[in-house]
A = this chain, B = another copy of it.
């Protein structure tokens, strides 16, 4: 890994300006190391040929629980003092964060209460149940989710672990970048899927501290482009509705993640739904890995005209792409295969 001596920004970043720092990320790394996978980095000559540069894929779909979310949840759960921890943890989410909190709590041996809207897909609920999470159903509104979580907190004394707007979670997600730069020190840029900004801000804080010359790009669906709009407006923008197949990228930035995105992210690149599906196919057919739609927006962004013809592609020859998770319902595939063996 490169030393921190070539620029003083590494030090400046550690002065407590943000909710996480290189120091808190390195602490998180030591804390989660016994439980989290060091995920492999894959390369593919034929995709490199199409992209015209060297791409390195950080496979967080191979992380415990099938997504990077385990890093942040594990850091939050294991940073609790013993007395607090034994009262349990609670979160309101139906996605990868919920399963990650349940798994981290199961490993620590404490209760996890997961507030889930009653219309959540059964496969997501099954993920939480597989890791021993206690499902608490609520109405499918943010208000009901928050109220129900508050009620669980009051009744059980459990600690709320938010999916991204939390320094412990941001620090856990930042461990991806520490690992990635050890595995591929040559990276000129990292492309990260952005939703609430936990992964993006953690990665930006770690990577910019370790290698100040590196560029961090966020990628998101055009149908949920709040981060791009926020960057353009210079303040957090939320949307009245979102519309994308990338079900993990429908949240908006928080007050702890936004300042990092504002200051340290080069640009937010938006991609269309068909660009997302093309990038998914590339991952399945060439890399031979299972990824969810949200995972591939970084690859879609690198391949997009907006990036290839934009001002940023120069001096970005060695690009790191975060493939954030692999939790996807493949029922259509199994139905078709089961018909073929009858």
Contacts and interface: CB of A to CB of B under 8 A. Distances in A.
Contact of A284 (B274, B330, B335): B330
Contact of A290 (B40, B276, B284): B284
Interface in A42-78: 42, 45-46, 59, 61-62, 64, 66
Contacts of A46: 130
Interface residues of A, number: 36
Nearest to A331: B336
B277 A341 contact: yes
A61 B291 CA distance: 16
A288 B42 contact: no
A163 interface: no
Contacts of A337: 245, 277, 280, 293, 332
A273 B181 CA distance: 44
B245 A340 contact: yes
Contacts of A341: 245, 273-274, 276-277
A289 interface: yes
A69 to B, nearest CB: 14
Given A293-B337, A333-B336, 15 more contacts: A42-B62, A62-B287, A245-B341, A274-B341, A277-B337, A277-B341, A281-B334, A288-B291, A288-B326, A289-B289, A290-B290, A330-B333, A332-B332, A332-B337, A333-B333
Interface of A: 40, 42, 45-46, 59, 61-62, 64, 66, 130, 245, 273-274, 276-277, 280-281, 284-285, 287-291, 293, 326, 330, 332-338, 340-341
Q: Which 4 A-B pairs have the closest CB atoms?
A: A332-B336, A288-B326, A273-B341, A288-B290
